[in-house]
Structure 1
């Protein structure tokens, strides 16, 4: 099968970066454009200013579905990331550009009745055999996979898009999706595993992440589909009276007369003096951190919400 406009495809790379435009891609972005992406090399090769360049929109994980809307002869596809809601941009999902080599036609994927699994490790790799050579490095927390048999000596075979034969990863890196919604404490615990990850604009991985990407990924681990951007996340969650927030809820921030620009995850009940704490991917400090809200954050705090 071939990719076709108007039909769905799935991501075949461990992590595919969604770009604003093929012409916006920089020479430094080469590791993120390959069929076998190297996201750690891409991020480490950029300086702090390049890590927040506005050519990146988001990132998609292995097996994530997209709707192909245009194919260019130079190897680029315009897609809508249907699992990353972005109502203000496209009611179908987040639109942007991907290299076509990072996509696999949806018809070549595993049937829907195969037992689903989710990656619970922050980072993992798919191998050709138990403890064998790495075939696909850099799998990210929350990646959905399909079981391809029972475990053997602590290794589990799985189906992966674009690979005819089952691949293997440690059974301890996997979890079965829960039939019940996660607790706020469970989601917060996942987000806390990403402490000190570098801030990357548009990032949704354990190598680099932004504020709304952190929230999106933490909930994605449990199969909950939140929008990709902070203002859309606010619209998709339930407002609370400030003071009623609890760990695992969300803080939103906006400057007067402007739309929401930042989000954090509540890590403690508010103190008697109104002091608050949150976990967030901080643009200013360029990493994920947990802290008391400084004065400049308090000045722009516009609400607390619950998923």
Structure 2
């Protein structure tokens, strides 16, 4: 069925990339634009400058909901990603563009997304231990159960596919019904240590600073905004020195809006020594480190989710 403006749709690929416009994409972006969206190949094909191209806004996970705003005859769809709050851009969610063939209509029978992928990256198979149908499925992806586990494998309904697919039952957990502790969210983020920095990235294939924070809490069903400045508004400020592991550090230059965020990994030490886990633009990867002097100079606050 063809998508229509005003309709709710869902992502049918493991990870879909949200673009500023169809015209902004580059030749290096082709693997991320196909109906299979090979994000691993896309990331590995970029050089260090291309990893931070500002044509990317965010990414969406398999089964994530969007509202269709416009459909172009060339196969592009303008959407609002309703599971990624972005109040300054659109009160409904994060706006951007996706290839239409990475979306599908909502199946009312499969809206019970009561399972969450807890493996950092996994794959969906045609049968238990059978051929891979959909690789690259990321932590935090919500899936609808299609029956009980069998021999260590679990069937799930997948958007855009008639037959259930299978993944190891150990890669799934029930969707959270209570808020996580800060330490639990930090533990998810720590599993992404050394993942490459990708501007707008939101998975273990590549991630940015606010994406790391958004995804760590999203794994537990907590809907934090997508961008760092919005994340500051949505969290509770702390007195400096009161921060604990799992809290957040925010950074801004004088007179400018917040541009960076990290997750506290240790109680402040002597001489206000501080440590954090963050997706580092400069080093192009996720690192855990003591705050260097240039970071401390732009530290504007500590917050708690």
| TM-score in same-fold range (> 0.5) | yes
Number of paired residues? 305
Match of 2:4, SS?
coil
Partner of 1:159: 157
Per-residue displacement from partner, 1:197-225 (whole Å, max 9, x unpaired)? 00000000101000000000111100101
The RMSD of aligned alpha carbons is: 0.9
In 2, are the aligned partners of 1:122 and 1:140 still within 8 Å (CA)?
A: yes
Looking at structure 1, the residues matched to 187 and 113 of structure 2 have their Cα atoms a distance apart, in angstroms, of 25
Looking at structure 2, the residues matched to 128 and 111 of structure 1 have their Cα atoms a distance apart, in angstroms, of 18
1:226 to 224, 227, 231: 224
In 2, are the aligned partners of 1:109 and 1:161 still within 8 Å (CA)?
A: no
Partner of 1:51: 51
Unaligned runs of 5+ in 2: none
Partner of 1:275: 273
Length-normalised TM-score, structure 1: 0.98
Looking at structure 1, the residues matched to 277 and 83 of structure 2 have their Cα atoms a distance apart, in angstroms, of 24
Looking at structure 2, the residues matched to 150 and 55 of structure 1 have their Cα atoms a distance apart, in angstroms, of 42
Partner of 1:129: 127
Partner of 2:92: 92
In 1, are the aligned partners of 2:243 and 2:303 still within 8 Å (CA)?
A: yes
Looking at structure 2, the residues matched to 109 and 129 of structure 1 have their Cα atoms a distance apart, in angstroms, of 24
Q: How does 1:23-102 map to 2 (within 5 A)?
A: 23-102=23-102
Length-normalised TM-score, structure 2: 0.99
Looking at structure 2, the residues matched to 218 and 133 of structure 1 have their Cα atoms a distance apart, in angstroms, of 30
Partner of 1:256: 254
> How far apart are 1:109 and its partner, in Å?
5.0
2:206 to 186, 205, 208: 208
In 1, are the aligned partners of 2:110 and 2:144 still within 8 Å (CA)?
A: no
In 2, are the aligned partners of 1:35 and 1:102 still within 8 Å (CA)?
A: yes
Unaligned runs of 5+ in 1: none
Looking at structure 2, the residues matched to 13 and 109 of structure 1 have their Cα atoms a distance apart, in angstroms, of 19
Match of 2:256, SS?
coil
In 2, are the aligned partners of 1:110 and 1:146 still within 8 Å (CA)?
A: no
